[in-house]
Every structure is written in structure tokens, then in C-alpha cells.
């Protein structure tokens, strides 16, 4: 080729080789001088963690959690996503106590599916609870109730939430990592992270009294106070027309309150499956209630 001589090519090759050698030399020196000791146990422990990086333990992800374990700031059981066996294995490896942390799961404080909760209007717009909530609070009569357009199911990275036939989200406790995403997205603030040993649960947030609440939804808390009158030592109180359970007295909780509730707003959870009392009306309706 005219204009290009062999010497040009040789100069380029020589220059690149020299540059490469020089830079690799700098890297080699930097590797020695700037080397940071990293505990090899971090990698080992990270292997035993679920790698979901969900953040439920309070750290940014699984690796920071492993670091915190080695520093002794957290206990292996505080990763509630991990199985008990894996937590024990980590505890054995580190020679510490696995800790005793009750698994938390996301729980919905509403049982007002389409078959029991009345609509005040028909919503025909963007299929999102957040979007529906800015249009007059959504279609449900109950101002506090679940809108049912599945923002929570969509935001859940673990696919732990699915919508049931009545348009209510159902949490799969085995998949839920208690990461707080559904808590933040729900426009009505119905989700909260609850330890699974809190079996007595008020599945309602309606602050109306009596018939007014029942007009909104058949399973609403009507503030009848039947649960509160013989609750041991103030376990249940009625505040703003809603039964509130004092979980600092959780050891006193029994299915009695559930059995007394005439609407079924108070439930007893077995493996996160709600059990309603005999006093509660049997709702056998399967289709949606009409708009009234």
C-alpha cells in the first residue's frame, strides 16, 4: 500500500506494547499497595443467604447482611427469608446463636372483596389503585377499603401476592420476604408487616359506626364492642369506631374475640389463613355486589 511503511507498523506495535507493560506495572503495584483485607467468611456466608437482596433485614442487601453478621451486629435468623436450617448453618459456621426472630409477612387490613363491599360508582379508567385513588378515592363505598386493582401484586418482586376471585390481594407467606414494597404502594395504607405469631387480626380499617359501616361492607368492623368487653386486660380496645389489638399483650390473645365478632372483621390466622367465628354471617355470595 502506498504511504504506509513497515516502520510505521513496528512503531505502533512497539508503542502499544510499552504502554501495556507500563500500565500493567502500575496495576501490579496498586494491587499490592492498595490491597484491602476482606474477610473470606463474607463470601461463604453470602453463599448460604437467599440472594434476593430484598432488604427486609434492614441492610441494603445480602452481602451487607453477611458483613453485619460477621461484625456481630445482626443475628442469622434476622434474615426472615432464609429457612431455619440455613440460619442454623450460618450460626454454626460463625459459632454464634442463630437468634430467635419471628418471621414477618405483609398483611392486608381489609376483607372487603367485591362480594361483600359495595361500590358507590363504576370506575372506568387506568387499572391501578394509585390512579383510581386520585379520582374521588376509588369506586368502593368504604373510604378505607381495598380498591382491588392489584398495585401490590404488580410491585411485588417475589410474586408473593395474587388477586383472588373477589379482587382482594392474597399474600403467600412462604414467598413473602417482608420487603415493604406493598406497604409503600398501597394508596389506602392497608398493608403492614406483621410477625406471624400475631394470630388475632382485625381485617378492617373502617372508622364508621354500626349500620353505616355495614352499609359500606358486610365484613366491616361496626364498633359493636363485643370483642372488647371481655377481652383480657385491655387486649382489644375500640378506638375511633375500630377494634384495635394491643400486640404488647399478644400472649393473651385467643380465638374468643374472633368467635364473638358478628361481622367477621376479627379473624384468627392459622398459617396466615383467616378463620372466622360462628357468629359471623356466612357470606356465600360469589358475584360482585351491584352499585347502589
Pick from 138, 145, 169, 277 the residue near other proteins by CB under 8 A. Answer: 138
Backbone angles phi, psi at 230, to 5 degrees: -115, 25
- With binding defined as CB under 8 A, does residue 124 bind other proteins? yes
Q: Considering only 26-34, 67-75, 114-122, 266-274, which stretch makes contact with other proteins by CB under 8 A?
A: 114-122
Residue closer to other proteins, measured from CB, 139 or 277 = 139
DSSP 252: G
Go through the chain and tell me how many residues it has. 292
> 251 near 81, Cβ under 8 Å?
no
Question: Quick check: 143 binds other proteins (CB under 8 A)?
Answer: yes
Q: Judging by DSSP bridges, how do beta strands 266-270 and 273-275 pair with one another?
A: antiparallel
Per-residue binder mask for other proteins (CB under 8 A), 189-228, x = binder? ------------------xx--------------------
- Among residues 104, 113, 114, 199, the alpha carbon closest in space to that of 160 is found at 104
- CA quadruple 219, 223, 224, 228: dihedral sign: positive
- Decide: is 157 part of the binding site for other proteins (CB under 8 A): no
Min separation Cβ 137 and other proteins, Å: 2
Are 110 and 144 contacting, i.e. CB atoms less than 8 angstroms apart? yes
Residue 23 or 135: the one with the smaller Cβ distance to other proteins is 135
The residue among 51 and 136 lying less far from other proteins, judged by its C-beta, is 136
Residue 153 binding other proteins, by CB under 8 A: no
Do strands 200-202 and 191-195 pair parallel, antiparallel, or not at all (unpaired)?
unpaired
**Least distance CB 180 / other proteins (angstroms):** 12
Rounded-to-integer distance, Cα 227 and Cα 276, Å? 13
The Cβ of residue 15 has, within 10 Å, a number of other Cβ atoms equal to 10
Judged by CB under 8 A, does residue 128 bind other proteins? yes
Contacting range for other proteins; rule: CB under 8 A; set: 44-52, 86-94, 116-124, 222-230: 116-124
Q: Given the complex with other proteins, which of 104 and 188 has the nearer CB atom? A: 188
- Residue 112 or 139: the one with the smaller Cβ distance to other proteins is 139
List CB contacts of 250: < 8 A, sequence separation 6 or more.
Answer: 197, 198, 200
122 is a contact residue toward other proteins (CB under 8 A): yes
Distance (Å, rounded) from C-alpha 162 to C-alpha 188?
18
Under the criterion CB under 8 A, does residue 22 sit at the interface with other proteins? no
Considering just the CA atoms, what is the radius of gyration of the chain in Å?
Answer: 28
Residue 258 CB contacts under 8 Å (≥ 6 apart), including other chains = 200, 266, 267, 268, 275, 276, 277
Q: How far is CA 292 from the centre of its chain?
A: 34
Query: Which residue in this structure is represented by grid cell 401490590?
Result: 152
Is the Cβ of residue 67 or residue 216 nearer to other proteins in the bound state?
216
Note whether 183 binds other proteins by CB under 8 A. Answer: no
**Could you tell me how many residues of this chain bind other proteins (CB under 8 A)?**
25
Q: Choose the binding region for other proteins from 60-68, 132-140, 162-170, 194-202 (rule: CB under 8 A).
A: 132-140
Residue 30 touches other proteins, criterion: CB under 8 A: no
* Site of interaction with other proteins (CB under 8 A): 120-126, 128, 130-131, 133-139, 141, 143, 155, 184-185, 187, 207-208
Amino acid at each position: 500500500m502506498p504511504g504506509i511503511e513497515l516502520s510505521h507498523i513496528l512503531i505502533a506495535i512497539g508503542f502499544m506494547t510499552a504502554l501495556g507493560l507500563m500500565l500493567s506495572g502500575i496495576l501490579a503495584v496498586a494491587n499490592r499497595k492498595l490491597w484491602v483485607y476482606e474477610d473470606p467468611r463474607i463470601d461463604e456466608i453470602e453463599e448460604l443467604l437467599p440472594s434476593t437482596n430484598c432488604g427486609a433485614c434492614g441492610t441494603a442487601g445480602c452481602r451487607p447482611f453477611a458483613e453485619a453478621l460477621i461484625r456481630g451486629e445482626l443475628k442469622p435468623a434476622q434474615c426472615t427469608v432464609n429457612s431455619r436450617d440455613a440460619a442454623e448453618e450460618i450460626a454454626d459456621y460463625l459459632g454464634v446463636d442463630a437468634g430467635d426472630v419471628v418471621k414477618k409477612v405483609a398483611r392486608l387490613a381489609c376483607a372487603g372483596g367485591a362480594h361483600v363491599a359495595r361500590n358507590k360508582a363504576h370506575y372506568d379508567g387506568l387499572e391501578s389503585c394509585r390512579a383510581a385513588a386520585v379520582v374521588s378515592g376509588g369506586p368502593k363505598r368504604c373510604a378505607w377499603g381495598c380498591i382491588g386493582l392489584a398495585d401490590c401484586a404488580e410491585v411485588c418482586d417475589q410474586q408473593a401476592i395474587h388477586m383472588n376471585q373477589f379482587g382482594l390481594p392474597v399474600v403467600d407467606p412462604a414467598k413473602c420476604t417482608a420487603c415493604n414494597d406493598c406497604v409503600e404502594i398501597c394508596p389506602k395504607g392497608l398493608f403492614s408487616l406483621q410477625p406471624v405469631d400475631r394470630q388475632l387480626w382485625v381485617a378492617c380499617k373502617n372508622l364508621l359506626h354500626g349500620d353505616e359501616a355495614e352499609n359500606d361492607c358486610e365484613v366491616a368492623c361496626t364498633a359493636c364492642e363485643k370483642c372488647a368487653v371481655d377481652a383480657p386486660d385491655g387486649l382489644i380496645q375500640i378506638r375511633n369506631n375500630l377494634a384495635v389489638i394491643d400486640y404488647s399483650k399478644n400472649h393473651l390473645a385467643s380465638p374468643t374475640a374472633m368467635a364473638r365478632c358478628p361481622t367477621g372483621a376479627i379473624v384468627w390466622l392459622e398459617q396466615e389463613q383467616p378463620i372466622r367465628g360462628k357468629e359471623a354471617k356466612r357470606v356465600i355470595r360469589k358475584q360482585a355486589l351491584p352499585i347502589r
